[in-house]
């Protein structure tokens, strides 16, 4: 397994290679076949992307080596990087980022798969259930954050009142330093599980029914069928869910910011919120250095993982 | 037997989903319908005095009907940028997937970079100022396009890979040029993934608040999410108005959802896993 | 050529797309009325909290009435650090409103007044404003800020009926404060309200203690700025963090201290649920809204230190001032200066006070407080009149660590102890000093 992770091939990392490489099309390099695929299709998007994303991003890399207050920039070499790694919140932030990303994508895989199995089985009210689970995906993150902050209020919130009614003393969801990051993660899952479910439904629907019929004839139990047919054949869907939610989880900011602002204290800080706070404090060079670090971290995790997941798929 | 299981399983799922997914929205609704003092108790209860309409009116009227201007701005922003994203994203993905070649590796890196790297605010503003588009709606639209492209390209590419090349070839043999092939042959086939792209990008652009905050400052330029953010500090004593705002902000996606519910779930399903 | 003909055919499509882009440009914001750029119109950027908006609007209305034909348009921005960001971004990109409200003291230094702001020394009102305010709005010998609103103190809001009922005296030392709190707890009331749901409110025990620090270590501000004195190694400065820890450990806090917000706290101290609430005096302006009719039940005293003799209040000589960016020029500049001058007159002050009731003395010497001010304002004024007031550290030093509020919450919720908290804050301060490029910190 470990050997699979080495030397990711840059040209293959995108989540999809042609699923059906048409045989006999090897000669597409010849002049004749270039015709229908003109490079000028790249022109407009290329200009927009280059001008409004690449150019500013590259110039910001320069600023990560400076002390920059937006008005003047002084070259200070690697000091910002040194300082960024010396930040006390960073250790917490790094740990929380990983916890958050793994927890949210893990739960989305498990719950998404479970819900998809449920929603593709013969139960009543399937359409309603699909809708109701998917709808939060569409709703504003700030709105969701504000609503759940109120629901999770330890004294007056609905959640703890409900728990209290059945005799359970609810915890301080967002005020307990050990719990806050998990509570936000749960809300993230609540909001995002609909997308994972829909992706899985697509994956499950595309599995030929014959497989199940054959297995049933062989006397396989439901669990056997899930274990040996559904799970392996839903792997592309699993790959999509993991990659999407992992990138989202590692970069996540909006929800954490609208619910805890990284608090109490620094207990629910993630790297993105540390960066943002430095930006707010006016440490623009430092915060840019932080963005570079986050970029490297996400790349270091996502690129090999993508490569590995895709590799497994064709193997 | 089987049906019984379906009924029981379905009923249990309906109850559980109602608790987890409907209660939060119901909470938004009842809080938005309460008076100031009642809403500050944060209770999940039917309002003693049902004043939803008054609250909605107040929320809409706040800051000289800022909400309504913000609605219009948000709609323009979302519609134009999503339309452009669909068109441009499909074009790039098509050539990228089909042609491969020298640029493919470069584009791969660029797309991945776009997904991962957080944008740099101030240098972006400098660029916008240089081209005279800072504080303009077209400027913000171009920003949303630039930031949204990588994801769209990726989704389109995955889908185009499953479209047989025979289609393009047949069209080429019939004498069609690249533009005709793309618009007449490929574009129509992409319908289901297009739905996915449209939904996800609409959600993304409509719900975005950071980009408008930085690249389109000024009260008369506010978008919906920005107003929500400012109401959060403005109405921190008036939960009923704050939730009336959340309710108003949630209405457009709800309408979109009710109209396209079936298509959305199907389109998402077809588009999000490679064919 | 085939490709040629198809390229022509795509042209209309591109044209449509371009037109859509162009159109969208026109329609956005045009509903907001004409964004007039004539010489008689000023734009004014205000924080978007209720009090600032109300008093800003009242000030604008009075100014427009006094100057017929002039229009001032108010724009709003979020407060707190989101607001800092917007101010910096807009200044650095040359896109600031004609006049804007922003903090003075250390935050003023961070926006590079020399490059970005118009100096106001030559204005006729410049010699006639509160000394502390003038000092904290001056950078490198030049005055940049015009006074708006009032000064106020940082101390403890207390519920007068509870104090009367239990026959308590306003405490002059920390020990008295703690024994008062013990008595209040015994009587079944919440002794000390804390509201970490809004993190900035956690800083009062540290920031509001500065009068006591300065009483014991008179040169703390300069030594601290030079990187010599630290919070962790200066007992007087460490005391603020220790107090945070003590009140938590003594069990004096309200049950929901971790999630309560400023408004919850104000309500609690006004209606007598809680007896004492460390807070900025300026927050008392919200009593009318949070606890109507109960505002006069609340008094205000300085955070006590070790020594009763040196008891006095840490004050904020106006947290914010009016500034003009360098991008305001010509007739607009004159009009902007006129607007600021108006704010220093009795009429201007009265208009401002109409929007939000004053909680301390006005900053312009031309303005007198109305007679019917709040109890908090009277108590604050008493400290000023007796000369027992020192400005907070952020007005004496350019360095204020950006993470103080989070660190105070850490100490206040028992995640770290006072010593550790003070050390963390010293590290935070060091980072800020390095980013400012101050001498002696490399």
Q: What is the mean pLDDT of chain B?
A: 82
Band of the pLDDT at C407, cuts 50, 70, 90?
very high
CB C78 to CB B230 under 8 A? Answer: yes
Scanning every residue of chain A, which has its alpha carbon at the shortest distance from the alpha carbon of B43? A158
Give me the residue from A172, A176, A280 closest to C81, CB to CB: A280
- The whole-number average pLDDT for the span B178-184 is 86
- The whole-number average pLDDT for the span C240-267 is 92
**Residue A36 pLDDT more than 70?**
yes
With beta carbons under 8 A apart, name residues in chain A contacting C409.
263-265
Does residue B19 lie within any of the structural domains?
A: no
CB A118 to CB B9 under 8 A? Answer: yes
Q: What is the pLDDT of residues B43-72, one digit of tens each?
A: 888 888 888 888 888 888 877 788 888 889
**From the candidates A282, A284, A285, which should be mutated to test the interface with C, based on the most C CB atoms within 10 A?**
A282
CA distances from B99 to B115, B164, B167, B183, C98 (A): 22, 14, 15, 17, 54
Query: Could you tell me if B234 lies within 8 Å of chain C, comparing CB atoms?
Result: yes
Range of weakest confidence among A162-166, B53-57, B164-168, C156-160: B164-168
Q: Å from B106 to nearest chain A CA?
A: 8
Give me the residue from C89, C415, C424 closest to A177, CB to CB: C415
- The whole-number average pLDDT for the span C324-340 is 92
Residues 59-98 on A with a CB inside 8 Å of C are: 67, 69-72, 74, 79, 83, 87-89
CB A67 to CB C437 under 8 A? Answer: yes
CB C92 to CB A282 under 8 A? Answer: no
Q: What is the pLDDT of residues C51-96, one digit of tens each?
A: 788 889 999 999 999 999 899 988 888 776 677 778 888 888 888 9
With beta carbons under 8 A apart, name residues in chain A contacting C102.
none
Query: Could you tell me if C1 lies within 8 Å of chain B, comparing CB atoms?
Result: no
pLDDT of residue C98: 93
pLDDT of residue B275: 37
Does residue B14 lie within any of the structural domains?
A: no
Q: Which chains touch B (3 or more CB pairs under 8 A)?
A: A, C
CA distances from C89 to A70, B125, B213, C139, C169 (A): 7, 9, 11, 20, 49
Does residue A77 lie within any of the structural domains?
A: no
Residues 212-231 on A with a CB inside 8 Å of C are: none
- The whole-number average pLDDT for the span A128-133 is 86
H or E element at residue C414? none
**From the candidates C5, C21, C28, C49, which should be mutated to test the interface with B, based on the most B CB atoms within 10 A?**
C28
Share of chain B above pLDDT 90, in %: 15
Does residue A195 lie within any of the structural domains?
A: yes
Of residues C23 and B159, the one with the higher pLDDT is: B159
Tokens representing B268 are: 């998402």
- The whole-number average pLDDT for the span C171-200 is 93
pLDDT of residue C207: 94
Band of the pLDDT at A23, cuts 50, 70, 90?
very low
CA distances from A139 to A92, B229, B257, C126 (A): 29, 15, 11, 52
Q: Is C276 left (phi over 0), alpha (psi -120 to 50) or beta?
A: beta
Angle at CA B210, nearest 5°, toward B209 and B212? 70
CATH label of the domain that carries residue B254: 1.10.3720.10
**Residue C40 pLDDT more than 90?**
no
Ranges A302-311, C110-119, C175-184, most confident: C175-184
CB A20 to CB B161 under 8 A? Answer: yes
Does residue A193 lie within any of the structural domains?
A: yes
pLDDT of residue C364: 87
pLDDT of residue B235: 62
CB C409 to CB A281 under 8 A? Answer: no
**From the candidates B37, B108, B116, which should be mutated to test the interface with A, based on the most A CB atoms within 10 A?**
B116
pLDDT of residue A306: 77
With beta carbons under 8 A apart, name residues in chain B contacting C78.
229-230, 233
**Residue C418 pLDDT more than 80?**
yes
pLDDT of residue B2: 54
Domain of B101? Answer: 52-272
Q: What is the pLDDT of residues C127-184, one digit of tens each?
A: 888 888 888 898 889 999 999 888 889 999 999 999 999 999 999 999 999 999 999 9
Does residue B157 lie within any of the structural domains?
A: yes
Contact indicator for B164, A21 with CB cutoff of 8 Å: no
pLDDT of residue B84: 95
pLDDT of residue A24: 40
pLDDT of residue C81: 67
* Total domains, chain A: 1
Band of the pLDDT at B5, cuts 50, 70, 90?
confident
Query: Could you tell me if C407 lies within 8 Å of chain A, comparing CB atoms?
Result: yes
Share of chain C above pLDDT 90, in %: 50
Give me the residue from A55, A122, A240 closest to B2, CB to CB: A122
Does residue A74 lie within any of the structural domains?
A: no
Share of chain A above pLDDT 90, in %: 17
Q: How many Å from the N-terminal Cα to the C-terminal Cα in chain B? A: 35
pLDDT of residue B265: 65
Does residue B31 lie within any of the structural domains?
A: no
Scanning every residue of chain C, which has its alpha carbon at the shortest distance from the alpha carbon of B145? C21
Band of the pLDDT at B219, cuts 50, 70, 90?
low
Q: What is the mean pLDDT of chain C?
A: 85
Helix ranges, C321-417 (H): 330-343, 346-355, 375-385, 404-412
Does residue B210 lie within any of the structural domains?
A: yes
Q: What is the pLDDT of residues A192-208, one digit of tens each?
A: 998 889 888 878 887 88
Per residue, the 3-state secondary structure of chain A, as one string, reads CHHHHCCCCHHHCCCCCCCCCCCCCHHHHCHHHHCCCCHHHHHHHHHHHHHHHHHHHHHHHHHCCEEECCCCEEECCCHHHHHHHHCHHHHHHHHHHHHHHHHHHHHHHHHHHHHHHHHHCCCCCHHHHHHHHHHHHHCCHHHHHHHHHHHCCCCCCHHHHHHHHCCCCCCCCCCCCCCHHHHHHHHHHHHHHHHHHHHHHHHHHCCCHHHHHHHHHCCCCHHHHHHHHHHHHCHHHHHHHHHHHHHHHHHCCHHHHHHCCCCCCCCCCCHHHHHHHHHHCCCHHHHHHHHHHHHHHHHHHHHHHHHHHHHHHHC
- The whole-number average pLDDT for the span A280-298 is 81
Please, what are the domains in chain C? 41-150+318-369 (3.40.190.10), 152-316+380-436 (3.40.190.10)
**Residue B228 pLDDT more than 80?**
no
CB A123 to CB B172 under 8 A? Answer: no
pLDDT of residue C326: 93
Q: Is A123 left (phi over 0), alpha (psi -120 to 50) or beta?
A: beta
Q: For chain B, what is the largest distance between any 2 Cα atoms, rounded to a whole number of angstroms? A: 73
Distance from C-alpha of C133 to C-alpha of C138, rounded to nearest angstrom? 9
pLDDT of residue C99: 94
Domain of A93? Answer: 88-314
* Total domains, chain B: 1
Residue A232: how many other CB atoms lie within 10 Å = 11
Q: Which chains touch C (3 or more CB pairs under 8 A)?
A: A, B
**Residue C366 pLDDT more than 90?**
no
pLDDT of residue B236: 62
- The whole-number average pLDDT for the span C309-337 is 90
pLDDT of residue B176: 81
pLDDT of residue C9: 38
CATH label of the domain that carries residue A124: 1.10.3720.10
Please, is A258 exposed, middle or buried when counting C-beta atoms within 10 Å of its C-beta (0-12, 13-18, 19+)? buried
**Residue B215 pLDDT more than 70?**
yes
Does residue A23 lie within any of the structural domains?
A: no
């Amino acid at each position: 397994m470990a050997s699979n992770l080495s030397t990711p091939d840059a040209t293959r990392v995108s989540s999809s290679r042609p699923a059906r490489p048409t045989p006999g099309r090897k000669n597409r390099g010849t002049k004749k076949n270039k015709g229908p695929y003109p490079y000028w299709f790249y022109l407009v998007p290329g200009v927009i992307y280059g001008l409004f994303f690449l150019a500013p991003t590259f110039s910001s890399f320069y600023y990560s080596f400076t002390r920059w207050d937006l008005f003047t920039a002084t070259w200070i070499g690697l000091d910002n990087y040194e300082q960024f790694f010396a930040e006390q919140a960073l250790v917490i932030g790094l740990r929380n980022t990983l916890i958050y990303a793994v927890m949210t994508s893990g739960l989305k895989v498990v719950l998404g798969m479970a819900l998809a199995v449920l929603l593709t089985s013969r139960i009543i009210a399937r359409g309603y259930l699909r809708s109701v689970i998917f709808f939060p995906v569409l709703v504003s993150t700030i709105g969701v954050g504000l609503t759940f902050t109120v629901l999770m209020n330890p004294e007056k919130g609905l959640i703890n009142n409900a728990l209290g009614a059945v005799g359970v003393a609810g915890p301080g969801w967002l005020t307990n330093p050990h719990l806050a990051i998990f509570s936000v993660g749960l809300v993230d899952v609540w909001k995002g599980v609909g997308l994972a479910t829909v992706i899985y439904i697509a994956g499950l629907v595309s599995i030929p029914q014959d497989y199940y019929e054959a297995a049933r004839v062989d006397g396989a139990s439901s669990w056997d069928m899930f274990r040996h047919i559904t799970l392996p054949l839903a792997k592309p869907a699993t790959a999509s869910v993991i990659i999407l939610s992992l990138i989202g989880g590692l970069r996540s900011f909006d929800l954490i910011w609208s619910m805890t602002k990284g608090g109490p204290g620094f207990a629910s800080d993630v790297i993105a919120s540390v960066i943002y706070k430095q930006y707010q404090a006016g440490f623009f060079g430092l915060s840019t250095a932080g963005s570079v670090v986050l970029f490297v971290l996400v790349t270091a995790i996502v690129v090999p993982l993508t490569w590995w997941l895709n590799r497994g798929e064709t193997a | 037997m089987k049906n019984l299981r379906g009924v029981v399983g379905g009923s249990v799922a309906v109850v559980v989903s109602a608790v987890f997914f409907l209660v939060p929205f119901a909470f938004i609704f009842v809080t938005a319908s309460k008076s100031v003092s009642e809403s500050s108790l944060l209770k999940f209860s039917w309002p003693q005095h049902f004043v939803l309409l008054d609250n909605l009116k107040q929320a809409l009227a706040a800051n000289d009907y800022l909400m309504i201007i913000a609605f219009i701005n948000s709609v323009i922003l979302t519609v134009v940028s999503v339309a452009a994203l669909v068109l441009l994203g499909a074009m790039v993905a098509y050539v990228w997937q089909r042609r491969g070649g020298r640029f493919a590796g470069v584009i791969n890196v660029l797309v991945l970079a776009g997904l991962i790297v957080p944008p740099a605010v101030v240098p972006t503003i400098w660029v916008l100022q240089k081209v005279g588009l800072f504080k303009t709606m077209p400027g913000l639209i171009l920003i949303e396009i630039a930031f949204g492209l990588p994801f769209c390209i990726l989704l389109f590419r995955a889908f185009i890979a499953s479209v047989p090349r025979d289609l393009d070839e047949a069209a080429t043999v019939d004498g069609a040029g690249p533009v005709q092939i793309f618009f007449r042959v490929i574009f129509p086939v992409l319908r289901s993934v297009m739905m996915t792209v449209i939904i996800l990008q609409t959600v993304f652009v409509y719900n975005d608040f950071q980009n408008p905050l930085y690249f389109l400052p000024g009260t008369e330029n506010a978008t919906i999410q920005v107003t929500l953010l400012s109401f959060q500090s403005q109405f921190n004593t008036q939960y009923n108005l704050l939730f009336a705002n959340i309710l108003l902000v949630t209405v457009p996606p709800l309408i979109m959802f009710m109209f396209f519910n079936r298509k959305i779930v199907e389109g998402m399903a077809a588009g999000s896993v490679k064919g | 050529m085939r490709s040629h003909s198809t390229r022509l055919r795509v042209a209309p499509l591109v044209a449509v797309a371009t037109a859509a882009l162009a159109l969208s440009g026109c329609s956005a914001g045009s509903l907001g009325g004409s964004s007039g750029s004539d010489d008689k119109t000023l734009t004014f950027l205000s924080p978007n909290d209720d009090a600032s908006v109300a008093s800003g609007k009242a000030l604008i209305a009075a100014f427009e009435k006094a100057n017929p034909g002039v229009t001032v348009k108010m724009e709003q921005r979020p407060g707190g650090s989101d607001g800092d960001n917007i101010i910096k971004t807009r200044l650095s990109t040359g896109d600031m409103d004609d006049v804007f409200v922003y903090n003075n003291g250390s935050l003023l230094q961070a926006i590079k007044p020399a490059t970005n702001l118009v100096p106001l020394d030559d204005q006729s009102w410049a010699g006639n404003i509160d000394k502390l305010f003038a000092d904290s709005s001056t950078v490198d010998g030049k005055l940049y800020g015009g006074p708006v609103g009032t000064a106020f103190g940082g101390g403890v809001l207390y519920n007068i009926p509870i104090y009367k009922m239990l026959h308590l005296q306003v405490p002059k030392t920390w020990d008295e404060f703690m024994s008062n709190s013990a008595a209040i707890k015994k009587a079944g009331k919440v002794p000390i309200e804390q509201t970490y749901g809004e993190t900035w409110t956690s800083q009062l025990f540290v920031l509001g203690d500065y009068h006591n620090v300065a009483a014991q270590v008179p040169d703390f501000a300069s030594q601290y700025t030079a990187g010599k004195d630290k919070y962790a190694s200066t007992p007087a400065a460490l005391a603020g963090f220790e107090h945070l820890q003590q009140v938590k450990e003594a069990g004096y806090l309200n049950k929901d201290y971790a999630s309560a917000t400023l408004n919850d706290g104000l309500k609690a101290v006004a209606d007598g649920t809680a007896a004492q609430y460390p807070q900025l005096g300026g927050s008392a302006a919200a009593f009318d809204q949070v606890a109507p009719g109960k505002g006069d039940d609340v008094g205000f005293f300085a955070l006590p230190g070790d020594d009763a003799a040196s008891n006095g209040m840490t004050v904020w000589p106006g947290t914010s001032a009016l500034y003009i960016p360098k991008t305001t020029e010509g007739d607009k500049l004159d009009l902007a200066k006129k607007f600021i001058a108006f704010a220093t007159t009795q009429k201007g002050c009265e208009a401002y006070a109409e929007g939000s009731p004053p909680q301390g003395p006005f900053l312009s010497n031309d303005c007198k407080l109305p007679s019917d001010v709040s109890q908090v304002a009277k108590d604050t004024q008493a400290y000023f009149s007796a000369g027992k007031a020192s400005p907070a550290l952020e007005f004496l030093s350019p360095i204020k660590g950006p993470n103080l509020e989070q660190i105070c919450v850490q100490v206040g919720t028992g995640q770290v102890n006072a010593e550790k908290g003070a050390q963390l804050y010293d590290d935070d301060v060091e980072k800020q000093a390095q980013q400012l490029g101050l001498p002696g910190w490399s």
